[in-house]
Amino acid sequence: MRLNKYFLVNCAKLQNTLYKLLAKTLFIGKELYYMPTCHSTNDEARQKSINAAICEGAVFITSDQTKGRGQRGNTWFSQPHKNLTLSIVLNPIFLGSDEHFYLNMISSLAVKMCAQHFVPEAQVKVKWPNDVWINERKIAGILIENTLKGSRISSSIIGIGLNVNQTHFTETKASSLSLASGTTFSLPLVFEKLMLAIEHYYLMLKAQKYDELKSEYLSHLLGFRVKRTFRAEHVFTGEIMDVMKSGLLMIKTQQGERSFDFKEIIWL
């Protein structure tokens, strides 16, 4: 018998050992695709969305992602069975294409909320546009891929890599919940908390609480109103003053306030 590569996790035996269908959420993770291994959960989510009707809130999760993709065409490495690597499918048709950054805000705030819950003593920060850092080290990355229908966002795949129990990294600026706390965590428990947090912020977005979301995002933003060094066409110091709904970063420099797109600036 050939097994389908997806296991729709609705069998009691699997539920006890792997990620459970979520009992406490309204719609996130009610359709849950667990794959023991896959190349990229974002690619699996996209492929499945093309081939079949899937519900808003469907989650694709794997224990061993072999070709994880990151921002700027980078690769996302995650040690098998140690971390969360997953993608959530949303249909934010109420958002215009010029408002896509609200998806970055809600997903980074959700990861931040989840990490803060498990490591309450640490200062968890969001690094623009949507990384999550603890003690100046990155613990999570998010890759958002949108599909447009006219000028609206018809579908969004939110891919999250959250380092949970991995303790060795080749990348010096990488960390995990475990390294930040000295504790080992239950992946299903972290998963549940993360999904609840995603739902919480997505419902806020649906309820058009734009100002609340933005001020919460700015209040947790690394470097907000603090002098930092950046590199664009040259190295300069400046203070982050704002982030636009399109995602542009507004920085006060000695030459006045300037806006930067994601590809135009690097933190030093």
Contact between 74 and ligand BTN per CB under 6 A: yes
Asked whether position 129 contacts ligand BTN by CB under 6 A, the answer is no
Query: 3-class SS at 169?
Result: coil
Looking only at residues 175 through 194 of this chain, which bind ligand BTN when binding is defined by CB under 6 A? none
Lay out the sheet containing 152-162: strands in order across. 7-8, 32-35, 59-62, 84-90, 152-162, 137-149, 131-134, 124-127
| Of 41, 63, 108, 176, the one binding ligand BTN by CB under 6 A | 41
Tokens at 123, concatenated:
């200062």
Contacts of 209 by beta carbon, 8 Å cutoff, 6+ apart:
none
Question: Which one among 31, 32, 40, 153 touches ligand BTN, defined by CB under 6 A?
Answer: 40
Q: Which residues are within 8 A (CB) of 238 and not within 5 positions of it... i.e. 6 or more apart?
A: 227, 228, 230, 251, 252, 253, 254, 258
CB–CB of 262/101 below 8 Å?
no
Taking CB under 6 A as the rule, which mask of x and - marks residues 79-108 in contact with ligand BTN? ------xxx---------------------
Question: Which of 15, 25, 49, 71 contacts ligand BTN by CB under 6 A?
Answer: 71
- Looking at the Cβ atoms of 147 and 236, the one nearer to ligand BTN is 147
Binding residues (CB under 6 A) for ligand BTN: these are 40-42, 65, 68-71, 74, 76, 85-87, 131, 141-143, 159-161
